[in-house]
Structure 1
Amino acid sequence: MHTWQMQEAKARMSELVKLAQAQPQQITSHGKPVAVVLSRESFDRLSQAQGSLVDFMRRSPLFGADDVVFERDSSLTRELVF
C-alpha cells in the first residue's frame, strides 16, 4: 500500500484516485495514518450486507437446541468505595 502525506494527496488527487483502482492508498496526517482511499469495487465488496442478526443467529450450531445452559459467574461482587 502506498502512503501519501495529506498535503501531497490533496495536490495529486487525480493520480491518487487512479492508483486506488489498483490497490488501496493510505493517507497520513502528521505522520499518523488517517484515511485509506480504495476503489469503488473494493468498497462495495467490503461493505455488502452479510444478512440480518436474525439470519446470523439462525446459522448458529445452537439454533433450535433447547438444552443449552449458560452458567453464571458465582464469584462475589467487589465492594465500591465512594
Structure 2
Amino acid sequence: MQTSTHDDMSWTVAGAKAKLSEVMERAQLAPQTITRNGKPSVVVVSAEEWQKKTARRGSLAEFLLASPLRGADLDLQRQHDEPRDLSL
C-alpha cells in the first residue's frame, strides 16, 4: 500500500515491504521515503545517488587551504590554565 502524499514518493512500511522492487525502481529516479506511524523513518536512494552524497571531496589540507580565514592573521593562543582537580 503506497501512500500518495509527496507525489508518490512516500510509502508505508507495509507498502514498501509488499512492493520492494517498485520502491527500488522508483529510487533510481528520486528518493523514496518510508514512513512509520505516519512519520518519515528512512529514505531509499539509488546507489549512484548515495555515492555522490558520500564521496570524499578533497583532502583536509585542500579544505584548510581554501578556508576564507586563510591569511586572516588571527592571533590564536593556547590557554595555559592548570588542569582541574577531578578527585572527590
By the TM > 0.5 criterion, same fold? yes
Residue in structure 1 matched with residue 50 of structure 2 by the alignment: 43
Tell me the distance in 1 between the aligned counterparts of 2:72 and 2:44.
47
- Indicate the RMSD between aligned Cα atoms, in angstroms: 1.8
Please say if 1:3 is aligned against 2:10: yes
Give % identity: 39
Residue in structure 2 matched with residue 62 of structure 1 by the alignment: 69
Residue 66 to residue 19, structure 1, CA distance change in 2 (3 Å): closer
The residue type equivalent to 2:74 in the other structure is: V
SS of match in other structure, 2:22 = helix
Which TM-score applies when normalising by structure 1?
A: 0.72
Which TM-score applies when normalising by structure 2?
A: 0.68
Tell me the distance in 2 between the aligned counterparts of 1:60 and 1:14.
44
Tell me the distance in 2 between the aligned counterparts of 1:47 and 1:66.
31
1:17 shift after superposition: 0.4
The residue type equivalent to 1:67 in the other structure is: D
The 10-residue stretch of structure 1 (40-49 or 50-59) with the greater mean CA deviation from structure 2:
50-59
Tell me which of the two structures has the higher relative contact order, counting C-alpha pairs closer than 8 angstroms and 6 or more residues apart.
1
Residue in structure 2 matched with residue 24 of structure 1 by the alignment: 31
